């Protein structure tokens, strides 16, 4: 029951009532009590009293718009003045813009009042929030007929904001240029409009015009708007000039300006400058921390992003949804599942998990960290799945080597009528390339044409790679030649295709063409070139390219480049040179380089270097089962049975097992997968019957398979207890 109105209220005038209601505006119970008195005394039928009640109900922390409607509807139509309509239009424009536009049309239909400047301001605000350009332009046309409206700076700024929010900056600029009077909000609104449309130069030129015409209008609002406009990779110079002016004018005292500076430097890739602003900030808030975390994540400094998130939490600041997106993206880049799970737990506690862009980052994090089941659980919980989430899931399957699952999910997405983005198509093409599935890849190519996605990044490179990985170099090259503005990724894809398909000369020719076009090679380019040299046995040329990457391009060799050089030397039979080269390398190379040498020793029958490489692998604690098998077979070939037993014992002690072999074949647009030791294929029984028939036919023709390694002329007499295991090892290594 509403609280009783004070006895003095019975003798209140309308002015006293309005003043008392204004004082009690934050307390619904007191307002309702005063409303009850107004109804009982008949004061509610008077427009000023009713208007104050409408304003009271609509300005509560949780607006009671239904009550405001009821009060408005109780006012006799003839008694409603323009203030009555404005009291209703102003809150509706912020909370229910479509209702505001409807009420504005009703106001125009009444013959008792004409809209005031505040009426038009509310209509423009509602049109902007409802994204209704027709309603906004109609209100603008009507306002032009009322001189008091178009000459009012408040109304013109609202109109300017409407066109900017609708993305019609050309009309916004015409309104701005025609304004008889401007204030700092007008300037900042126009600058923000340019910023929203990524027109950084126009925004900066407008700011310079403001400095010439009315330098007194400089404010924190204008400064943040300009910084937002120049927060693009090429806007650093303009941003630095703004920074200097901000310091000169003393605007760094505003935390919003400091936050904008941090964001500007972060988006320009200058995290050192961003950190300097952050460190010198007198009053940080959650937005300041979020700007740094997001900046680190977007600039490839994931470690710093995670560290900054920990510092933020320790400092007692509450993360925002943008903070979580940044730290989840950093966790994805690092593969830091533990950090991602901690962020997930805090996110659930704070209630941010339901937001779509946070959920997208969460799904992406779990997918990239290899937790596809958790990613799928989050994916399936969403009622509305956008293309970003579909892409995250498809990409997650591809990154975890689950190419068939990726294609199955893509097919499900296509069946549900979701139009793929360029990133989705690229992920699907990478899945096709991973299992050499040419027909599904061709179907994706038709979708590229159907949806007009073009061959720009990342689609063109992914399509060229798909054709090349499927052995179709002709179509891969055709796609490559039609890629507009070919970047280093596009060149790498086609060079890799030629290299992997045994066309080394073609790969080297493409590399020379790439240099002539002015594209600067990267680390991946040189890996492909060195692989081509390895396949063709070009030792001297390989050394030339290895030196070239450091001498001409300033690229420090990585483990993959050293591996290519070891492979070049090993394939050429220069095993001692390969051994010496490995021992001269200063970076930590683990076990992979010695594994390459060991594999080459098997083919070239070099027992000494092979035994040395194998023992180095044993010392490093390799978990590669084939290394144990090859070393054991080397010792068996030399009849060193004690060493054979030692290696086998070491393998058992370390729990090393051979991974089963896997192969697949595409037949009638369907990919069939086969794994050693499994009988899960639906046609397994028929396949086995055919294999037995073929084996019998081969034996009848006099063909006998051999599981003997090239090292091994004759294994010699093994102890009976070891003979079965040894033959099993040899067969496993060969297969």
- State pLDDT tens for residues 514-550: 999 999 999 999 999 999 999 898 999 999 999 999 9
Q: What is the pLDDT of residue 44?
A: 61
Q: Which of 73-87, 280-294, 684-698 has the highest mean pLDDT?
A: 280-294
Q: What is the pLDDT of residue 589?
A: 82
Length of the chain: 735
Query: What mean pLDDT comes out for the span 353-376?
Result: 84
Identify the CATH class of 558-678: mainly alpha
Q: Which two tokens stand for residue 32?
A: 């309702």
Query: What mean pLDDT comes out for the span 700-719?
Result: 49
731 pLDDT tier (thresholds 50, 70, 90): very low
- State pLDDT tens for residues 7-34: 444 556 656 666 655 655 556 666 666 6
Q: 72 or 489, which is more confident? A: 489
For residues 336 and 334, give the distance between their C-alpha atoms in angstroms, rounded to a whole number. Answer: 5
362: pLDDT strictly greater than 50: yes
Q: Which residues pair with 675 in a beta bridge?
A: 662
CB neighbour class for 657 (10 Å; exposed up to 12, middle 13-18, buried from 19): exposed
Helix, strand or coil for residue 142? helix
Q: What is the pLDDT of residue 514?
A: 93
724: pLDDT strictly greater than 70: no
Tally of CA atoms within 13 A in the half-sphere of 270 that contains its CB: 20
Helix, strand or coil for residue 664? strand
- State pLDDT tens for residues 224-245: 888 888 888 778 899 899 899 8
58: pLDDT strictly greater than 60: yes
Q: 483 or 33, which is more confident? A: 483
Q: What is the pLDDT of residue 378?
A: 82
Q: What is the pLDDT of residue 526?
A: 93
132: pLDDT strictly greater than 80: yes
Helix, strand or coil for residue 665? strand
- Taking CA atoms, 398 is separated from 360, 367, 369, 467, 468, in Å, by 17, 9, 12, 17, 18
The angle, 0 to 180 degrees and rounded to 10, between the axes of the packed helices 337-350 and 302-314 is 40
- State pLDDT tens for residues 504-523: 899 999 999 999 999 999 99
452: pLDDT strictly greater than 70: yes
For residues 688 and 678, give the distance between their C-alpha atoms in angstroms, rounded to a whole number. Answer: 12
Least trusted range by pLDDT, from 8-12, 118-122, 250-254, 676-680: 8-12
Q: What is the pLDDT of residue 291?
A: 92
619-628: long-range contacts, CB 8 A cutoff, minimum separation 24: 620/590, 620/591, 620/594, 621/654, 622/591, 622/595, 623/654, 623/656, 624/591, 624/595, 624/656, 625/651, 625/656, 625/657, 625/658, 625/659, 625/732, 626/599, 626/658, 626/733, 627/591, 627/595, 627/598, 628/656
Q: What is the pLDDT of residue 729?
A: 33
The mean pLDDT value of the chain amounts to 83
Q: Which two tokens stand for residue 498?
A: 């030629």
715: pLDDT strictly greater than 50: no
428 pLDDT tier (thresholds 50, 70, 90): very high
For residues 55 and 90, give the distance between their C-alpha atoms in angstroms, rounded to a whole number. Answer: 9
For residues 487 and 457, give the distance between their C-alpha atoms in angstroms, rounded to a whole number. Answer: 8
656 pLDDT tier (thresholds 50, 70, 90): confident
Question: Read out DSSP for 67-91?
Answer: HHHHHHHHS-GGG--HHHHHHHHHH
Tally of CA atoms within 13 A in the half-sphere of 13 that contains its CB: 2
Q: What is the pLDDT of residue 710?
A: 39
The DSSP letter of residue 362 is H
For residues 321 and 414, give the distance between their C-alpha atoms in angstroms, rounded to a whole number. Answer: 30
Q: What is the pLDDT of residue 719?
A: 32
Q: What is the pLDDT of residue 718?
A: 32
Q: What is the pLDDT of residue 632?
A: 85
CB neighbour class for 615 (10 Å; exposed up to 12, middle 13-18, buried from 19): middle
Residues 6+ apart with CB under 8 A from 486: 460, 480, 517, 519
Q: Which two tokens stand for residue 648?
A: 């086998």
Alpha helices in 351-487 (DSSP H): 356-368, 372-381, 387-399, 403-415, 422-434, 438-450, 459-469, 473-481
Least trusted range by pLDDT, from 4-8, 395-399, 678-682, 692-696: 4-8
Query: What mean pLDDT comes out for the span 588-616?
Result: 85
Tally of CA atoms within 13 A in the half-sphere of 571 that contains its CB: 17
Q: What is the pLDDT of residue 328?
A: 92
Q: What is the pLDDT of residue 704?
A: 66
296: pLDDT strictly greater than 90: yes
| Pair 85, 52: CB distance under 8 Å | no
For residues 711 and 214, give the distance between their C-alpha atoms in angstroms, rounded to a whole number. Answer: 88
Query: What mean pLDDT comes out for the span 232-261?
Result: 88
For residues 181 and 156, give the distance between their C-alpha atoms in angstroms, rounded to a whole number. Answer: 9
Identify the helix (H) or strand (E) that includes residue 672: strand 670-675
């Amino acid at each position: 029951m509403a609280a009783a109105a004070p006895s003095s209220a019975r003798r209140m005038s309308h002015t006293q009532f309005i003043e008392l209601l204004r004082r009690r505006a934050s307390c619904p119970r007191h307002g309702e009590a005063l409303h009850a008195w107004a109804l009982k005394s008949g004061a509610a039928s008077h427009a000023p009293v009713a208007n104050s009640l409408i304003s009271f109900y609509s300005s509560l922390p949780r607006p009671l718009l239904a009550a405001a409607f009821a009060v408005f509807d109780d006012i006799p139509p003839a008694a409603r003045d323009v203030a009555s309509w404005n009291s209703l239009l102003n809150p509706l424009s912020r909370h229910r813009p479509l209702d505001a536009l409807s009420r504005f049309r009703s106001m125009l239909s009444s013959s008792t009042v004409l809209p005031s400047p505040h009426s038009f301001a509310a209509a423009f605000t509602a049109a902007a929030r409802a994204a209704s350009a027709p309603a906004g332009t109609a209100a603008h046309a009507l306002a032009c007929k009322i001189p008091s409206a178009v000459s009012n700076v408040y109304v013109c700024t609202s109109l300017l904001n409407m066109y900017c929010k609708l993305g019609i900056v050309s009309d916004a600029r015409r309104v701005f240029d025609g304004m008889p009077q401007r204030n700092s909000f007008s300037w900042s609104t126009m600058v923000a409009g340019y910023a929203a449309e990524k027109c950084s130069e126009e925004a900066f030129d407008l700011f310079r015009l403001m400095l010439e015409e009315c330098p007194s209008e400089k404010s924190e609002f204008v400064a943040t708007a300009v910084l937002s406009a120049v927060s693009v990779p090429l806007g650093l110079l303009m941003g630095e000039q703004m920074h200097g002016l901000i310091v000169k004018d003393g605007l760094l005292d505003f935390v919003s300006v400091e936050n904008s500076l941090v964001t500007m430097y972060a988006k320009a890739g200058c995290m050192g400058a961003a950190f300097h602003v952050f460190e010198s900030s007198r009053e940080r808030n959650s937005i300041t921390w979020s700007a740094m975390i997001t900046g680190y994540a977007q600039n490839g400094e994931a470690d710093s992003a995670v560290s900054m998130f920990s510092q933020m939490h320790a400092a007692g600041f509450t993360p925002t949804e943008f903070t979580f997106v940044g730290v989840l993206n950093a966790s994805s880049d690092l593969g830091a599942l533990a950090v991602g799970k901690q962020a997930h737990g805090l996110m659930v506690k704070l209630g941010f998990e339901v937001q779509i862009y946070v959920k997208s980052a969460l799904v992406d994090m779990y997918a990239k960290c290899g937790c596809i089941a958790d990613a799928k659980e989050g994916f399936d919980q969403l009622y509305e799945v956008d293309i970003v989430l579909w892409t995250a899931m498809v990409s997650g399957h591809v990154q975890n080597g689950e190419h068939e699952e990726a294609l199955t999910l893509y097919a499900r997405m296509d069946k549900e009528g979701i139009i793929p983005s360029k990133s989705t198509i690229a992920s699907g093409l990478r899945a096709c390339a991973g299992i050499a599935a040419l027909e599904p890849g061709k179907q994706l190519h038709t979708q590229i044409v159907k949806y007009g996605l073009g061959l720009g990044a990342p689609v063109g490179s992914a399509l060229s790679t798909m054709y090349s990985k499927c052995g179709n170099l002709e179509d891969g090259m055709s796609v490559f030649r039609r890629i507009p503005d070919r970047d280093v990724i596009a060149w790498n894809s086609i060079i890799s295709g030629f290299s992997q398909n045994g066309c080394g000369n073609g790969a080297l020719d493409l590399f020379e063409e790439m240099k002539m076009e002015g594209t600067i090679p990267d680390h991946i380019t040189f890996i492909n070139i060195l692989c081509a040299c390895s396949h063709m046995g070009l030792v001297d040329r390989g050394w030339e390219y290895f030196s070239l990457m450091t001498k001409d391009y300033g690229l420090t060799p990585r483990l993959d480049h050293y591996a290519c050089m070891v492979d070049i030397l090993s394939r050429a039979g220069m095993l001692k040179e390969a051994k010496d080269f490995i021992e001269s390398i200063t970076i930590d190379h683990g076990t992979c380089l010695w594994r390459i040498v060991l594999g080459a020793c098997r083919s070239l029958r070099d027992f000494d270097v092979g035994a040395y490489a194998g023992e180095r692998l044993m010392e490093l604690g390799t978990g590669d089962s084939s290394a144990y098998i090859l070393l054991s077979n080397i010792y068996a070939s030399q009849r060193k049975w004690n060493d054979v037993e030692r290696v086998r014992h070491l393998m058992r002690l370390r729990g090393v097992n051979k991974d089963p072999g896997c192969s697949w074949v595409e037949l009638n647009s369907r990919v069939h997968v086969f794994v050693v030791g499994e009988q899960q294929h639906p046609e397994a029984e028929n396949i086995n019957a055919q294999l037995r028939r073929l084996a019998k036919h081969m034996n009848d023709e006099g063909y006998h398979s051999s599981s003997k390694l090239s090292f091994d002329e004759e294994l010699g007499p093994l102890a009976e207890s070891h003979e079965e295991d040894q033959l099993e090892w040899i067969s496993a290594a060969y297969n």
